[in-house]
Amino acid sequence: MNVLISACLLGCKCRYDGKDKNTIDITKLKEKYTLFPICPELDGGLGVPREPAEIKEKRVINRKGIDVTKEYTKGAEIALETALKNNCTVAILKARSPSCGKGEIYDGSFTKTLINGDGITVRVLKEAGIRIYTENEIDMITE
Ligand code: SF4
């Protein structure tokens, strides 16, 4: 099965702080799935390091108050293109990110307050019918 995956989970140092989030067993995952890495924030044109951003109402605003919705949207579109081109019906995406987060995201106040909601890329992928799992839900993936 072809699976879209957040590149930071595979060890790519593409997070806003220049670090990765390699918290999963990649070897085991590669035995089961063909992985297609994405990083919507880089693909959307943002650099590393970058200011952290959070979703506030319908916009994505970084910690300096700059609206980065356009970059996040472009990254989401590229993620969808990658999924469709490679027949990925499932995605494993980093929890709580304003791009990759599923089910809960930060509330836009930069106070580490979580609310229910999805990141921008997750919204776009869900609309296309792609099933999303966080890195904490890998055991729940079904064919
Ligand atoms: Fe990881 Fe997604 Fe953030 Fe890129 S946009 S660093 S893949 S969580």
User: Is the CB of residue 50 below 6 angstroms from any atom belonging to ligand 1?
Assistant: no
Asked whether 5 and 90 are in contact (CB, 8 A), the reply is no
Q: Return the pLDDT at 136.
A: 97
Ligand 1 centroid vs 63 CA: distance in angstroms? 17
User: Is the CB of residue 94 below 6 angstroms from any atom belonging to ligand 1?
Assistant: yes
> HSE-up of 15 (CA within 13 Å, CB side)?
15
Q: Is the pLDDT of residue 65 over 90?
A: yes
Percent of the chain with pLDDT over 90: 97
Q: Is the pLDDT of residue 142 over 90?
A: no
Ligand 1 centroid vs 14 CA: distance in angstroms? 7
Mean pLDDT of the chain: 97
Q: Is the pLDDT of residue 107 over 80?
A: yes
Mutation pick for ligand 1 pocket among 10, 36, 100, 124 (CB with most ligand atoms within 8 Å): 100
Q: Is the pLDDT of residue 88 over 80?
A: yes
- Please compute the mean of the pLDDT values over residues 27-55 and round it to a whole number: 98
Q: Is the pLDDT of residue 3 over 90?
A: yes
* Paired sense of beta strands 131-134 and 90-93, if any: parallel
**CA distance linking residue 79 with residue 7, whole number of Å:** 11
Q: Is the pLDDT of residue 143 over 80?
A: no
- Please compute the mean of the pLDDT values over residues 118-129 and round it to a whole number: 98
pTM: 0.97
Tracing tokens 């609310």 back to the chain, one arrives at 115
Q: Return the pLDDT at 105.
A: 98
User: Is the CB of residue 40 below 6 angstroms from any atom belonging to ligand 1?
Assistant: yes
Ligand 1 centroid vs 75 CA: distance in angstroms? 10
